[in-house]
A and B are shown apart, each in its own frame.
Chain A
Amino acid sequence: MRIVFWLLLFLGNCLYSQTIIKGEVLDIRGKVIVNASVSIYKKSSSAIIAYAITDSKGMFAITLVSPDPEVDLEVRCMGYETVVSAINNSTQIKNFILSEKSFVLKEVSVKAAPILQKGDTLRYLVNSFSKEQDRSIGDVLKRMPGIEVLPDGKILYQGKAINKYYIEGLDLLEGKYNLANDNLPYQEVSQVQILENHQPIKTLDSLQFSDRTALNIKLKNTYTFTGQARIGTGFSPLLWDANITPMLFSKKRQMLTTYQTNNTGDNVALQLKKLTIEDLLNQFENNSEKIDWLAVQQLANPKFSEKRWLDNSIHLLSSNYLQKLKKDYELRVNVSYLNDYQQQKGFTNTQFFTPSGTIDLLEEKYNQFYYNSLQTNFTLQKNTTKNYFKNSLEFQGFWDSQRGNIVLNNEGLKQELSNEYFRFSNNLKSIFSIGKQKVVLFSYLGLNKTPQELRVNPGQFEGLLNENKPYNSVTQHIDLLTYYTNNSLSMIKAVKYFTLESKVGLQLENQKLNSNITTSTNSVLSPDFSNTLDWFRSKLYVDLNTQFKKANWRFELSTPINFHAYTIKDIPLQLAEAVNQTTFEPRLTVNYDVNSYWKINSSAGISNQFGTINQLHYGYILQNYRSIKRIDSPLPQSKIQNYNVGISFRNSVKSLFFNTSYSNVQSENNLLYQSEVSPNGAVSIDAIEQLNTRYSHNFSTRIGKYVSAFKSNVALNSSFVLQESQQIINANLVDIANQNLILGSKIDTDLTDWLNLEYAGRWMFSNNKLEELKQPLVKQQNHVLNLNFNLKSKQYVGLKTEYINTTLFNERNENVFADFIYRYTIQKKKIDFEMQVNNVFGTNNFETINVSDFSYVATNFMLRPRQLLFKVRFSL
């Protein structure tokens, strides 16, 4: 190509003679114009053939080689009129006089890319995503492509929950990140950083890889004192809403304190929920989650925004403090107190499908819930590249109670429940080096107590409890005391591309369950109605974990061998069981980064699960007024195989995110449960020893894209779940298959400078099959459409609408809700005045339908009426 070019040029030189055009450029006063450009264009085209720049004397000389007889000559200089003239292609002298003319440039500037990427870190610039109507950083986070915020506040990145939520690299809230997410003004935040493959323990950073993603909030200033204060009132009934949240972030100290109270349906208790996957897993592993053994019969909650139906009266006080100490230690104190009173009104119509026919049950319910809890956590941590130390001391107390009133087929029924729970735990982890090896010491010690009591009035299960005679009341007492400890020691060593971790550990658990049922006529029933269960479990485990990392490949193989021993005995009932079993539970993960955009992850593993104490008790327990349960069975065991594979794509330059995954879980269980439904609707459950397998397939896919030109964020997602299992209903073995398809879409766009539109739609299709009998398809659609008008940047008008459509048995149930918001902002003082009308159409009740494996429940739920609210908000 180049040769041809030179050849042509050479030929051209031979064929066409050179012409020289010389001249001078002056202004109208005769002064020379320096640095003007004189260009020769091919006739009527934009291609410059030759050019010259005028010198200090305003002179120019252009040497031109062109076959054209005529060319265009253009003289340009900033600040002067441009002159264009057609000239003959011949050597000549041409002078120009330019008249002055001011010239204003078209001003432009590069907008910073909304997402920057450097290695494993993605930085989302908050300014690029925030909208006028946003207040907290959580509002802005929802608009970032690749990030998803679930209704409970859980943050997902590429479909997976984040493992840490840092503020300026410090973990102040540890999982309770809604406290910051809902209250931190976004104006203080410069970037939201996504740290992929984040290893939170610095000393293991280059040693053990992690697939998890952390989020870091990067503030604009190194010292930030901020927060919000909000106070509001309304009617009817008298409403209040207050929130005072001061926060302080500096290099040495972080503090977030909040007091919030309202009866407007805003469930601020969600802010105390632990949301990081790590904390959730720990809770499960340590048996530290509050379990309610007993319950009042509840109403199924409508599947849309809580704010429309929650009748609450909540007070939340939380104080979180982090201080850096000497020698890289950090001290953190978190104390939270929650008090809430909730009410529920409505009625349910339950149909139980059994092979012999259906049983109908109509209940009118009024429930009252009292929540009262205190949670404290003291943590001392040191996280440096050399070593790691963390000790957390935790106390939780729940003084909860509930009251339920039911009118059952025109007869009244009262339930009173006290469901308390107390927990105390200490968690220690320490990592240090011995030679080239890292030694990890881990110790968890937990103690919890669950004293609960349920009283039902009038007495139920007369046949079982009172010789078929009606009676006044029945009371279930329960007291569970749990002692749990888990200790392990491991060594980590890196050998070339491999990291080997060998671990030995011992778990011990002792649980004492004392329960009994008393009736108003008889305080001592037969021993069948009480439990004095002594449960002892131990697990000795050894594990060799191998990680391999080279180029774009990462492998992890863990090969734990577990020795389980169970001794379960109930002396008064003279029943006992002992199980000793060794299990091998290998797990392999393979990750491959195809390039910087595409990643593939996959894993396969086998694990074993054993029953917990609430799945095995020899005496009856009255769980709720219509379910009495005794599980006199062998220890439930299941062997679980699971596989999953996922593909993800991210292109930060194009702001395009995509991921898709498939997972398959197969669990082989040794027990099947038989539900006996008696004519009065009471359900008794017995366990039968029969091997059965439960299959579940799960596909999900999501795609997100941000278009900066239109300030628009678009997200689509879909998921499909298929489950197959078996169940015994009234002595018959029944095959059950459930299918669930969910499609969702989300659009957030600026239609004009002052009008922003947010839309989210969700379609759900579910159907279940009992034997080969197909149950009717249930369809539900939710559409949320918000129009945000930002008038003159001081005034904001928001119109929020929600449309819900449920179809079942060709029966359509439609509901439309609308809220209206007007806000006036005094920008200088950062004060908002807000007026809000909720539920403009005054829709009072809502019907939800729940179809479970063998029942159909239609619930009519009382909603919050039309309400008017006035609020004032200050930025601190």
Chain B
Amino acid sequence: MNIKSLLLVIISLGTGGLIYAQNFPKDTLRYEITYDYSYQVNKEDTLSKQKELMALYIAKDFSYYISLNQKKLLDMARDYEVSKVLPDRKALSRSKINYTIVKEYSTIKSIFIDRIGQGTYTYNQNLDKFDWKLQEEQKDILGYNCKKATTEFAGRTYVAWYTTEISIADGPYKFRGLPGLILSIYDTNKHYQFTVASIKNSSSFCNTGEQLQKPTQITYEEYKQLKKRYKEKPSSLINSGGMTFPKEMLDLADQRAKEKMKFENNPMELTD
């Protein structure tokens, strides 16, 4: 069940375009940063590298990290709400990264939203703390002077390049906390890499509560369990989506999931 069909199902069921969840920050944006995100799903196979364009939307009091393809999909759903014209199936973009992260500066909280199976779940956490070691090296990225810093995070060592010319203590994914925006960050194996692709000013409105489905509030522990269960036996979560599928299909999905899990042996976060 991919996102395209999901979107069409949702739209055609007449549930409307978007759901606006409460308690999610919204404001006029100030900046839009995009990153090329490259990640290697198999430890040994360098050809298993995947790519996705990610966006970091920055407002005064929060930032919103989302895959650009998923953002396009949300925009399309919003357009549908207004125009009621079903978008062309071909125009629907397929996002490989389904989670979004909201970092709230004022409350030092992060809101993590992810889709698992057919459900959308969210959990809140304190913003991650990073122990950054500042280094003397400097280099130019897209015309911005960047300084080097290193840190450990979830079992990997990362090298970050941040610029004090943009004094936003933020970055892609969960990364934050340097005296300037992170323009490039990668682990020392170069399995996970984020590199800035564009920097833009923005004045568009962003509501982080825009979702295709209403997210279910859970705790971080529950989230981890759910994720684990889905990886091992996706069928257990497909059924709970409200539709029923023949058993053969579910078995097949489980079989595939096992194979996929075996191959995708290189998660970004190795430890909690």
A48: CB under 8 A from chain B? yes
Task: Verify A35–B201 contact, CB threshold 8 A.
Answer: no
Distance in Å: Cβ of A46 to nearest Cβ of chain B = 8
B68: CB under 8 A from chain A? no
A690: CB under 8 A from chain B? no
Residue-by-residue, is B196-220 near A (CB-CB < 8 Å gives 1, otherwise 0)?
1111110000000000000000000
Return the chain B residue nearest A47 by Cβ.
Answer: B136
Task: Verify A35–B143 contact, CB threshold 8 A.
Answer: no
Task: Verify B105–A34 contact, CB threshold 8 A.
Answer: yes
Task: Verify B179–A51 contact, CB threshold 8 A.
Answer: yes
Of A53, A82, A110, the contact of B196 (CB 8 Å cutoff): A110
Residues from chain A with a CB closer than 8 A to the CB of B196 are 110
Distance in Å: Cβ of A47 to nearest Cβ of chain B = 6
Distance in Å: Cβ of B107 to nearest Cβ of chain A = 6
B177: CB under 8 A from chain A? yes
Residues from chain A with a CB closer than 8 A to the CB of B36 are 110
When chains A and B are docked, how far (Å) is the Cα of A153 from the Cα of B4? 44
A37: CB under 8 A from chain B? yes
When chains A and B are docked, how far (Å) is the Cα of A50 from the Cα of B164? 13
A56: CB under 8 A from chain B? yes
Of B108, B143, B197, the contact of A106 (CB 8 Å cutoff): B143
When chains A and B are docked, how far (Å) is the Cα of A77 from the Cα of B180? 9
Distance in Å: Cβ of A99 to nearest Cβ of chain B = 15
Task: Verify B179–A76 contact, CB threshold 8 A.
Answer: yes
Interface positions, chain B 58-99, Cβ under 8 Å from A, are 58, 60-61, 90
A78: CB under 8 A from chain B? yes
A776: CB under 8 A from chain B? no
Task: Verify B166–A39 contact, CB threshold 8 A.
Answer: no
When chains A and B are docked, how far (Å) is the Cα of A55 from the Cα of B177? 11
Of A34, A48, A110, the contact of B147 (CB 8 Å cutoff): A48
- Listed residue (A50, A56, A105) with the most chain B CB atoms within 10 angstroms of its CB: A105
Distance in Å: Cβ of A708 to nearest Cβ of chain B = 14
Task: Verify A108–B143 contact, CB threshold 8 A.
Answer: yes
Of B107, B166, B199, the contact of A56 (CB 8 Å cutoff): B107
Residues from chain B with a CB closer than 8 A to the CB of A53 are 169, 177, 179
Give the bracket for the number of chain A residues in contact with chain B: 20 to 34
Residues from chain B with a CB closer than 8 A to the CB of A468 are none
B134: CB under 8 A from chain A? yes
Return the chain B residue nearest A55 by Cβ.
Answer: B108
Residues from chain A with a CB closer than 8 A to the CB of B58 are 78
Residues from chain A with a CB closer than 8 A to the CB of B200 are 105, 107, 109
When chains A and B are docked, how far (Å) is the Cα of A48 from the Cα of B147? 9
Residue-by-residue, is A56-77 near B (CB-CB < 8 Å gives 1, otherwise 0)?
1000000000000000000011
Residue-by-residue, is B144-170 near A (CB-CB < 8 Å gives 1, otherwise 0)?
100100000000000000001011111
Return the chain A residue nearest B109 by Cβ.
Answer: A56
Of A38, A48, A55, A78, the contact of B166 (CB 8 Å cutoff): A78
Task: Verify A76–B197 contact, CB threshold 8 A.
Answer: no
Return the chain B residue nearest A37 by Cβ.
Answer: B179
When chains A and B are docked, how far (Å) is the Cα of A51 from the Cα of B177? 10
B115: CB under 8 A from chain A? no
When chains A and B are docked, how far (Å) is the Cα of A51 from the Cα of B133? 11
Return the chain A residue nearest B63 by Cβ.
Answer: A35
Residues from chain B with a CB closer than 8 A to the CB of A478 are none
Interface positions, chain B 21-62, Cβ under 8 Å from A, are 30-31, 34, 36, 58, 60-61
Return the chain B residue nearest A49 by Cβ.
Answer: B134
A434: CB under 8 A from chain B? no
- Listed residue (A56, A77, A78) with the most chain B CB atoms within 10 angstroms of its CB: A78
Residue-by-residue, is A23-51 near B (CB-CB < 8 Å gives 1, otherwise 0)?
00000000000111111000000111111
User: Assuming the A-B contacts A34-B61, A106-B143, are A76 and B164 also in contact, with contact meaning beta carbons closer than 8 angstroms in the complex?
Assistant: yes
A653: CB under 8 A from chain B? no
Residues from chain A with a CB closer than 8 A to the CB of B198 are 107-110
Distance in Å: Cβ of A21 to nearest Cβ of chain B = 14
Residues from chain A with a CB closer than 8 A to the CB of B106 are 34, 56
Residue-by-residue, is A192-206 near B (CB-CB < 8 Å gives 1, otherwise 0)?
000000000000000
User: Assuming the A-B contacts A56-B106, A106-B143, are A39 and B201 also in contact, with contact meaning beta carbons closer than 8 angstroms in the complex?
Assistant: no
Task: Verify B108–A37 contact, CB threshold 8 A.
Answer: no
Task: Verify A105–B197 contact, CB threshold 8 A.
Answer: no
Task: Verify B134–A110 contact, CB threshold 8 A.
Answer: no
Task: Verify B169–A37 contact, CB threshold 8 A.
Answer: yes
Return the chain B residue nearest A58 by Cβ.
Answer: B106
Task: Verify B134–A79 contact, CB threshold 8 A.
Answer: no
When chains A and B are docked, how far (Å) is the Cα of A134 from the Cα of B28? 42
Distance in Å: Cβ of B238 to nearest Cβ of chain A = 31
When chains A and B are docked, how far (Å) is the Cα of A78 from the Cα of B166? 7
- Listed residue (A36, A48, A79) with the most chain B CB atoms within 10 angstroms of its CB: A48
Distance in Å: Cβ of B237 to nearest Cβ of chain A = 34
Distance in Å: Cβ of A28 to nearest Cβ of chain B = 16
B142: CB under 8 A from chain A? yes
Distance in Å: Cβ of A250 to nearest Cβ of chain B = 13
Residues from chain B with a CB closer than 8 A to the CB of A105 are 31, 166, 199-201
When chains A and B are docked, how far (Å) is the Cα of A801 from the Cα of B34? 46
User: Assuming the A-B contacts A53-B177, A108-B143, are A35 and B134 also in contact, with contact meaning beta carbons closer than 8 angstroms in the complex?
Assistant: no
When chains A and B are docked, how far (Å) is the Cα of A79 from the Cα of B31? 11
A281: CB under 8 A from chain B? no
When chains A and B are docked, how far (Å) is the Cα of A48 from the Cα of B177? 14
User: Assuming the A-B contacts A35-B105, A39-B179, A56-B107, are A108 and B167 also in contact, with contact meaning beta carbons closer than 8 angstroms in the complex?
Assistant: no
User: Assuming the A-B contacts A34-B61, A48-B147, A77-B167, are A108 and B134 also in contact, with contact meaning beta carbons closer than 8 angstroms in the complex?
Assistant: no
Of A38, A48, A78, A222, the contact of B134 (CB 8 Å cutoff): A48
A551: CB under 8 A from chain B? no
When chains A and B are docked, how far (Å) is the Cα of A110 from the Cα of B143? 10
Interface positions, chain A 106-136, Cβ under 8 Å from B, are 106-110
Residues from chain A with a CB closer than 8 A to the CB of B177 are 53
A3: CB under 8 A from chain B? no
Task: Verify A56–B201 contact, CB threshold 8 A.
Answer: no
Distance in Å: Cβ of B15 to nearest Cβ of chain A = 31
Task: Verify B134–A51 contact, CB threshold 8 A.
Answer: yes
Return the chain A residue nearest B143 by Cβ.
Answer: A108
Residues from chain B with a CB closer than 8 A to the CB of A104 are 201
Interface positions, chain A 229-246, Cβ under 8 Å from B, are none
Return the chain B residue nearest A82 by Cβ.
Answer: B167
Residues from chain A with a CB closer than 8 A to the CB of B167 are 36-37, 76-78, 82
Interface positions, chain B 105-149, Cβ under 8 Å from A, are 105-108, 134, 136, 138, 142-144, 147
Question: What are 6 A-B interface contacts by the 8 Å CB criterion?
Answer: A34-B105, A37-B178, A79-B30, A108-B142, A108-B198, A110-B142
Known pairs A35-B168, A79-B30, A110-B198. 8 more at Cβ < 8 A?
A34-B108, A51-B134, A51-B179, A78-B31, A78-B167, A79-B60, A105-B201, A108-B143
Q: 4 closest pairs, A vs B, by CB?
A: A109-B198, A76-B167, A37-B179, A35-B105
Q: Which residues of A come within 8 Å of B, CB atoms?
A: 34-39, 46-51, 53, 55-56, 76-79, 82, 104-110, 222
